[in-house]
Amino acid sequence: MKLTIHRGTDQIGGCVTEYEHNGWRLFVDYGEELPGSPKAGELQVEGLTQGDLSKSALLITHYHGDHIGNITKLPDTLPIYMGEVARDIQLVLSNHLKNVIPAHKEMVKLLQKVQTFKAGKTFSFGPFSIMPVTVDHSAFDAYAFRIETYGVSAYHTGDFRLHGFRSTKFFKMLEQYVGKVDYVVCEATNIFRPNATSKRESALQLDFEFLFKEKKSTVVYLSSTNIDRLFSLYHAALKAGRPFYVDKYQKDIMDIVVNSKSMWTKSPLYQYGKFEPETLIYHKFDQNRFFVSDSFKEFLDKKGYVLIARSSERFDKLIEQIPGEKQKVLSMWEGYVKEGTEAYNENLANSLEGTYDYMHTSGHIDMADLRVFFRLLQPKAIIPIHTNSPEQFAKLFHDEWPVVSLYDGQSVFLN
Ligand SMILES: [Zn+2]
Ligand SMILES: [Zn+2]
């Protein structure tokens, strides 16, 4: 089996990986390069963007833009596979954005014909046998893949972590569905962020519960598709006795998860409790505003609230209108509001107005957890991707495993 990393050997995001055997090509992910990352630019890849596609397929690990964002640019004869709930969440997201960003109109169309796989159910494509393994990440219904052909196996990690709510079952699943593998193609986002994962998602939830009890009115900014954080906040608000408010878009995403047949949704975390999340109402004559009645204000004044907000004029206006001394919380990567970085989001920084609590933990694994993970899989070699320092990664792990650092477009034979 030949492995080629077309992009992502030295940047976080935009990874495109190819597993090839006998002319059959299995690609993993086709997303956008993140702002601030080195720009490899548009890719020209035989069997993916051009040429004969009759023996090619694309697997999507999860719905983050740096993994799925560019699939609308691919020829439409290419078969694409992803998780079912992930597809449904992407559909809500793209429907929400299609009037602002034209590519999402294409995405809505494309998602209709995307094929879905199931966690723990092997399927094959040409000579490849593919086992999708559900992983914990800041995207819901995210996957790693065990890819095998003619006795050689590789485990493609996708983005994942071991400090989330769903991580507790991970090792058991690895044992059951993966076993030992020959190679690991591994994400290494947090190589330079040793403190990014110092908190477990469950500990963060307790912090939120404490905050919601203490502060009557809290406004939290987080990524709309960070499902675990969203449900964590919802249950923390319930426990603190605070009404929990989201807009219709956010509620639609929550409903998809609650009503899905994902193996995870049996967990109470993904179910509604005594009170469902409250949906904000749009103003009858002005869709750019939420409707704020006197009785609504009175209710909020009495009970307090947890409001899930995004940086937009609509939310800014709402926050101005509703009562209470608001505690603002940023619950996503702080790089978005650090001036001078390319990922800087001026609107978000303005909405936060400089005074906020930072309550977050990374969606990516830390290096100590990675070592535990590698010891379980016992690979012959590790190939790092989704990292801005493959050199640092090699330095860290070469004491126990050979680390094969490739450059973009370089191939290596796995045998
Ligand atoms: Zn990523
Ligand atoms: Zn991701």
Write the single-letter amino acid at 41.
Answer: G
- The DSSP annotation for 227-246 comes to HHHHHHHHHHHHHHT--EEE
Phi, psi of 113 (to 5 degrees): -105, 5
- For strand 217-221 and strand 327-330, is the pairing parallel, antiparallel, or unpaired? parallel
Pair of tokens at residue 282: 């749009």
Half-sphere exposure of 67 (CA within 13 A, CB side): 25
Q: Does residue 29 contact residue 144 with C-beta atoms inside 8 Å? A: no
CA of 342 to the centre of ligand 2 (A): 18
pLDDT in tens, 283-322: 999 888 999 999 999 999 999 999 999 999 999 999 999 9
CA–centroid distance, residue 263 to ligand 1 (Å): 23
Q: Cα(56) to centroid of ligand 2, in Å?
A: 24
Kindly identify the ligand whose nearest atom is closest to the C-alpha of 225: 2
Distance from Cα 168 to the centre of ligand 1, integer Å: 22
Say what the pLDDT of residue 38 is: 66
3-state SS class at 174: helix
pTM for the model: 0.96
Instruction: Judge contact between 34 and 14, C-beta under 8 A.
Output: yes
Q: Are strands 183-187 and 381-385 parallel, antiparallel or unpaired?
A: parallel
Average pLDDT in the chain: 95
What percent of the chain has pLDDT above 90? 90
Which ligand is closest in space to the CA of residue 136? 2
How many angstroms is it from 12 CA to the middle of ligand 1? 6
Alpha-carbon 111 to chain mean position:
17
pLDDT digits (tens, 9 = 90+) for 184-239: 999 999 999 877 778 999 999 999 999 999 999 999 999 999 999 999 999 999 99
CA of 279 to the centre of ligand 1 (A): 30
DSSP state of 249: H
Dihedral through CA 42, CA 224, CA 103, CA 85, nearest 10? 90
Round to whole Å and give the CA distance between 8 and 341.
20
Mean pLDDT of the 265-290 span: 94
